[in-house]
Amino acid sequence: MFGAGVAEVTGGQKQLFDDSQFASLSAAAHDLKAPLSTIQFLAASLRDSELQLTDAEREQMLWRMQLTAESSLKLVEGLTYAYSTSRLALELEPVNVAHICEDILHEFTPLSRQLGQTMELKLSRRMVPLALAHHSILRSIVSNLCDNALKHNPPESHVQLRIGPAKRGVIIAVRDNGPQLRIADFKRLKARLGKEVNPLGARVGSSGLGLFVASQLAGAMDARLDLSRHQTDGVTFSLHLQPSYQLSFL
Residue 135's contacts (CB-CB under 8 Å, 6 or more residues apart) are 93, 95, 100, 250
| 7 pLDDT above the threshold of 60 | no
Res. 239: pLDDT tops 90:
yes
Do 13 and 119 lie in a common domain?
Answer: no
Domain of 139, CATH number, reads 3.30.565.10
The torsion angles phi and psi of 189, rounded to 5 degrees, stand at -65, -45
Tens of pLDDT, residues 20-43: 555 666 666 766 777 788 889 989
Beta-sheet pairing, 118-123 with 158-166: parallel
Query: What is residue 152's predicted lDDT score, i.e. its pLDDT?
Result: 82
Q: What is the structure's pLDDT at 247?
A: 56
Distances, alpha carbon 153 to alpha carbons 44, 108, 199, 230, 232, in Å: 28, 14, 19, 14, 13
d(CA 136, CA 141): 9
1 lies in some domain = no
Q: Is 146 a member of any domain? A: yes
2 in a structural domain: no
Residue 130 and residue 176 in one domain: yes
Domain count, the chain: 2
Determine the Cα–Cα distance for residues 171 and 240; give it in Å rounded to an integer.
5
Query: What pLDDT does 122 receive?
Result: 93
Q: Is residue 146 pLDDT above 50, yes or no? A: yes
Same domain (yes/no): 69, 133: no
Range of the domain at 35: 7-85
Q: What is the pLDDT of residue 217?
A: 79
Is the distance from CB of 214 to CB of 103 less than 8 angstroms? no
Q: Quick one: the chain helix, strand, coil %, rounded to 5?
A: 50, 20, 30
Domain final position from 85, 113, 138: 85
Query: How far is residue 97's CA from residue 240's CA, in Å, rounded to a whole number?
Result: 12
Q: What is the pLDDT of residues 76-120, one digit of tens each?
A: 776 676 666 665 567 889 999 999 999 999 988 888 888 889 999
Mean pLDDT on 64-70: 81
Q: Supply the pLDDT for residue 30.
A: 67
For the cut 50, the answer to whether the pLDDT of residue 17 exceeds it is no
Q: What pLDDT is recorded for position 15?
A: 52
pLDDT tens figures, 161-185: 999 988 888 999 999 988 777 777 7
